[in-house]
């Protein structure tokens, strides 16, 4: 009665293992998999299946659509598991730069060198590496079908598919790698509905269901990079004679205000686009779930439909009861996890504004009386 789970131990917590989990050796050249098992050799299937091992319980069940890009899935998992560690580490590095610069200023009495490129890029490189590699810890066990279901041995595959619902029941958390067609896939909607129906009350489910939009990490990274460029260009321009002349003619408040409004126009426009993408994806998902019908779902292998229907009947009583559960209980659960379609979470804003935090360290510490006067302010003290 044990299920096969991938034990994400220290030797398996690196991005290389995630790539092996989500793709074969053509990881980057074949971004999607239209048919289960296509392009996977027997030796590859054996190696992937060998990463799993019997376990009584599972920490995380990963639900995903096979048609979604595999790089996007890997990126979303890295972002979920490693973002906090990466941000803290990058801030520590930026603080170390600032403290060393402050020590240099106190010991030598000279102004702190203004190396904006170094002070912004080094924490960014550290953050990127930590996002990809993660902390050196054991991690957790998770059920990922490409590892826990043998992809070429038909007998092992059939037996594993028939007990997927047991793996869901034994899982403590559900991680949904949310793509545009995720809730339209029969396997995905069955996995999510089974987990929600077997894991306690609504308050308990709030922390045990994670929805990771696959479009979110690339969008946040683009905004992050955009703000890095803005921070570096701003540091260069504000230290130039041109900016001092602008402030002396237009006044420091007008000059600085105009400069920052102009430089932040592009990221603000992209943030509006990101918010629009979230709103459209959420409203489409809510609309589809509120009118859900089993005959509108899709499967990669049509033969799986009879297996899933049998599991639905055994667990929910009938297809009609399952549809009613999806339209009401599952919809309510997904609404709580996604939240307001038109809100921009605070943690998103904090992450994409980190480049300005990196730059602010050195900008504040390198302030001098000459620079203050050059921008049009008095420095009587």
Residue 118 pLDDT:
65
DSSP code per residue over 189-256? HHHHHHHHHHS--HHHHTTTEEEEETTHHHHHHHHHHHHHHHHHHHHHHHTSHHHHHHHHHH-HHHHH
Residue 202 pLDDT:
56
Residue 20 pLDDT:
42
Residue 317 pLDDT:
92
Stretches where the chain sits below pLDDT 50 are 1-2, 6-37, 381
Helices (H), the chain: 15-22, 42-50, 70-108, 116-133, 145-148, 154-162, 164-169, 186-198, 202-205, 216-238, 241-250, 252-263, 265-290, 304-316, 319-325, 331-338, 346-352, 354-365, 369-374
Residue 108 pLDDT:
66
pTM as predicted: 0.78
């Amino acid at each position: 009665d044990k299920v096969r789970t991938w034990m994400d131990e220290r030797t398996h917590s690196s991005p290389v293992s995630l790539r092996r989990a989500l793709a074969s050796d053509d990881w980057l050249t074949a971004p999607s998999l239209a048919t289960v098992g296509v392009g996977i050799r027997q030796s590859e299937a054996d190696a992937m299946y060998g990463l799993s091992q019997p376990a009584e319980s599972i920490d995380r069940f990963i639900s995903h659509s096979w048609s979604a890009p595999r790089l996007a899935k890997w990126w979303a998992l890295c972002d979920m598991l490693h973002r906090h560690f990466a941000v803290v580490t990058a801030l520590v590095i930026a603080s170390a730069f600032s403290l060393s610069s402050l020590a240099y200023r106190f010991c030598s009495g000279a102004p702190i060198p203004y190396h904006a490129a170094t002070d912004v890029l080094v924490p960014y490189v550290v953050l990127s590496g930590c996002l990809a590699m993660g902390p050196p810890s054991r991690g957790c066990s998770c059920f990922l079908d490409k590892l826990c279901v043998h992809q070429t041995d038909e007998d092992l595959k059939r037996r594993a598919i028939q007990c997927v619902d047991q793996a869901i029941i034994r899982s403590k958390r559900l991680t949904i790698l949310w793509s545009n067609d995720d809730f339209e896939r029969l396997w995905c909607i069955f996995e999510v509905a089974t987990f929600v129906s077997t894991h306690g009350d609504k308050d308990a489910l709030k922390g045990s269901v994670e929805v990771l939009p696959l479009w979110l990490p690339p969008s946040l990274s683009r905004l992050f990079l955009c703000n890095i460029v803005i921070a570096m260009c701003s540091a260069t321009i504000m230290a130039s004679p041109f900016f001092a002349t602008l402030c002396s003619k237009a006044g420091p408040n007008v000059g600085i205000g105009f400069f920052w409004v102009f430089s932040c126009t592009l990221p603000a426009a992209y943030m509006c686009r990101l918010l629009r993408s979230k709103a459209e994806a959420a409203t489409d998902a809510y609309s589809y779930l509120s009118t859900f019908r089993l005959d509108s779902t899709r499967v990669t292998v049509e033969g799986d439909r009879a297996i899933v229907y049998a599991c639905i009947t055994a667990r929910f009583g009938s297809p009609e009861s399952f549809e009613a559960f999806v339209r009401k209980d599952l919809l309510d659960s997904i609404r709580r996890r996604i939240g307001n379609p038109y809100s921009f979470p605070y943690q998103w804003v904090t992450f994409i504004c980190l480049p300005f935090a990196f730059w602010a360290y050195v900008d504040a510490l390198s302030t001098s009386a000459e620079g203050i006067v050059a921008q049009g302010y008095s420095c009587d003290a």
